[in-house]
Each structure stands twice: as structure tokens, then as C-alpha cells.
Structure 1
């Protein structure tokens, strides 16, 4: 290999592009359709930003599309582990709140499920009590990559959700924010003796909470590079299970409430 090609390769690896390709490949292997480097508009700055990967699954039900999209932000952090802080007592007030990003007719679906089904899909009803309340990058002295990544992936999801709710097309969309890191991931909490516990994990989750209101809380999945294929396969199983267990609720909801824009004032 020439010096020039080696320098280019080193630059590509340094900036994390191979990891992004590996994440996309893992989702593809699990049976999802993949889009990469998709642009979205940051409503705060008015500038376009890039989301790394969108992995999605679609199914036509009652001539209406139900779409599940995993919005993935990839970060290289080999020298700086990420830490998720947990406190299982914190989410007592949030036990009945499901911080999912779904279009208007999806809220109708969730209401129907809570009334008519005992099964709780983790895609629609995530385990809030097992989630962390904050995520940080260890050994960091400047801007926190973990914080910026979480804000970026949530902005992408919220942009896509707004556009979906403004559409006259017949669909129901669920957006699931995910951050994939090339590096180590730890969970930390205070035990009963007030000693700090620290455990390495393959994947975890964090609640991004602005206030104790449903619309201001978001559930973000975090996965490390160490067991990526198991994570994407787990998501594959959750998607298949959702379509199987909620087939009746999906048919009824998408038959009666196919367009989000005309249901803007619908209150659950």
C-alpha cells in the first residue's frame, strides 16, 4: 500500500468511519433496511445536520404503513469510556409515563394496547426504572461527547417526528434513538453502604428528562461495540414480537386513524 493510501486509511479509522460501517452492517445482518448519512434540519440553528444511520422495518397493515425506525448516532471513544449513572428510586413519578417518539395515531395505538393487552413491548413501553439518569464521557476536560451525541440523536428523532405529524400521508411512525460507541460502556450507582459501584455492560439506556412531563422525557438506548450483533438481533426480535402480539390493535388503529395531521387535537 502506498504512503498516501495508508495515510488516508489512518485518517478514516481515526475519525470512526469503519465503526459506523460496522454498525450499519450489523443492523443489515439482523434484517433491517439501512440508510446512512441522512440529513435533517436543526430547528434551533436552521442548519442541516447528519444522522449516521437509520435502520428501519415497515409493514403494510390495512393499506397503511407502520414504520419502526432506529435512529443511530455512532461515536468513537476508545480512550474515554462512557458512564451511565443510575438511581432506581428516581423514576417513581415516571412509572406510568412511556417516553416514546411516535406519531399521533401511535398514541391512540398505545392507549388501545394498555386497555386490551397484557403484553408490553419494550419498544413502546421501555423499562424506565432500569434506566440511567445521566451519561458522561470519562476523563473528559472539554465538551462532553456523550451529551452532544444524545442531543444530536434526539434532535434527529424530533425533527422526523414533526415532519411525520405534518404529513397527509397514511402511516404510523415510531422513532427509536440509539447511540453506538466504539469503546467501553459502564453503569455506576451508589450501593446501600454509600459506596460507588461500577460495572462494565454491553448496552444500557438513559432517560433524557427536561422536566417531569411526558413530552419532555426521552428514552435513549446505548450500545458498545463489544456485543453489537447480539444487540441488533435483540431489536430484531422485539420488532417481530411487536407485530405479532399487537396485530389486532394495529389493524384497528391504522384502519380508523390513518393520517396524523387530521388527528392533531385528539387527546388520549
Structure 2
């Protein structure tokens, strides 16, 4: 490899491109989604075009005018020297909140509400909706004096997912039951911090966490964002596929949507 090629390779690594490429490859190998690297959306705060690293989408046709659409807006970040820390809330999300606190079209939100009201035991077992309700209210980049890139990653994922839901809502010829999941894939070490009963800080390393954001960009007062380490992402991708295919199951489709 020549000096220039080596320099380009080093630059690509420093900019995080290999992580995006590996993540897209994992999705393509592990899921049936349509994987689209480097997608653009309109930032609602600035009106300018912004890039989300990866968009993965699944679609299902119910009839001539009705569709189900499930997607993930994935932001990839690397930080080998500075870990990320999630600050845990002392409250836990309910099973119903784990299902409903998602970005969706109006029809998608009604679908989630119906699932939470009538099929909560079944749906809460699906990987993307499962969990004990532990979640964070904020996060930061630790051990660094540089700009905190965790917040930017969070907002980018949320805005891109909200944009997808908004576009699906505006489709004139179809009614779309759409859910859009914001996801961050992190190449680095991920920690959670909380207070114990003695008000001492406890820190533990994790591979997957959730943060609940209420930023106006989401279009909702509450929206869940998944943060997954690169090592954990292959399992997360499998979990996405299991969840999507379970929601698409023909036997349950009409019953759940009330069609």
C-alpha cells in the first residue's frame, strides 16, 4: 500500500467510515431490510439537509391502499479513548411505555396503542419492545475536553427517524402504519451511571442502553432511542428482524390493525 493510500485509510478510520460500512454490512447479512447508507433528511431546526449514516427499512403490503412500514435511522459513532456515559433515571418505563413511546405516523401511533392495550403480554416479549424499563435521561462523553459528540449523535438519530415518520404520514395514496426507530451504534466503551440508596454514584459497563428524549425534533414529548455497542449490534440486528417479522405475521395482521 502506497503512502497516499495508507494516509487515506487512516483518515477514513479517523472519520468513522469503517464503522458505518461494517454496520451496513451486518444489517445486509442479518436482516431482510432495505439498507441505504448515507441518507439525507431536512433538519427541522435549520431547514438544511443533514445526513444520517444508515437507513434500514422493511415494508409490508396489506392491500392496495394500506401499508406497514418499519424503519431504523442509525447514527454511527466511534470513541476509542473517551467512553460514553448514560445517566439513569430513578423511574422505570412501563411495558406500555416501552411499546408506545416510539416515533410513528398517526396511524402507526394508533397501531402501537392498540397493541399496548390488547396484546401487551405478547408484544412486550418482542426484542425491540422488551426490557425491564431501565432507561437514561441524558448522556455525555467522559474523560474528554473535546466537543461532546454523544448529544449530536442522539439528535441526528431522532431527527432522521422523525423525518421518516413525517414523510410516511404525508403519503397521499396510502395509509401507512409506520414506526421509525432511532438507533446509535457506538464503537467504544459504554457505561451507565446511577445513584444507589446511599446517594453514592455507581458506574457499570453495558453494551445496550436506552435513552428517553423529549426534544421537539421528535415531534413527541417522549421517544426512546437505543444505543448499542458495535460488538452487540449483530445481536441487535437479529432482534430487529425478529421483531419486524413478528409484527408482519399474516395471521395477526388483520386482527391487530382492526382491518
Q: Normalising by structure 2, report the TM-score.
A: 0.87
Question: What is the aligned partner in structure 2 of residue 159 from structure 1?
Answer: 163
TM-aligned CA deviation for residue 125 of structure 1: 5.1
Question: What is the aligned partner in structure 2 of residue 69 from structure 1?
Answer: 71
Distance 2:84 2:56 in 1: 23
Question: What is the aligned partner in structure 2 of residue 219 from structure 1?
Answer: 224
Query: CA offsets, 1:118-144, max 9 Å, x none?
Result: 422457856583111111111232431
Query: CA offsets, 1:85-127, max 9 Å, x none?
Result: 11332658x9598321111111222233234324224578565
Cα 1:199–1:107, aligned 2, differ >3 Å: closer, same or farther? same
Of Structure 1 and Structure 2, the greater strand share is in 2
Cα 1:222–1:56, aligned 2, differ >3 Å: closer, same or farther? same
The counterpart of 1:89, out of the listed 65, 88, 91, is 91
2:18 is equivalent to residue 18 of structure 1: yes
Distance 1:141 1:89 in 2: 30
Question: What is the aligned partner in structure 2 of residue 192 from structure 1?
Answer: 197
Equivalent pair of 2:75/2:153 in contact (CA under 8 Å): yes
Equivalent pair of 2:127/2:242 in contact (CA under 8 Å): no
Instruction: Structure 2 unaligned segments of length 5 or more: list them.
Output: none
Distance 1:48 1:91 in 2: 33
Query: CA offsets, 1:2-44, max 9 Å, x none?
Result: 1111111111111110010011111111122200111111122
Query: CA offsets, 1:181-213, max 9 Å, x none?
Result: 1111111111122222211111111101359xx
Question: What is the aligned partner in structure 2 of residue 5 from structure 1?
Answer: 5
Equivalent pair of 2:92/2:135 in contact (CA under 8 Å): no
2:178 is equivalent to residue 176 of structure 1: no
**Which runs of 4 or more aligned residues in structure 1 lie more than 6 Å from their structure 2 counterparts after TM superposition?**
none
Equivalent pair of 2:140/2:151 in contact (CA under 8 Å): yes
Instruction: Structure 1 unaligned segments of length 5 or more: list them.
Output: 256-268
Cα 1:49–1:123, aligned 2, differ >3 Å: closer, same or farther? farther
Question: What is the aligned partner in structure 2 of residue 59 from structure 1?
Answer: 60
Question: What is the aligned partner in structure 2 of residue 34 from structure 1?
Answer: 35
- Paired residues in the alignment total 250
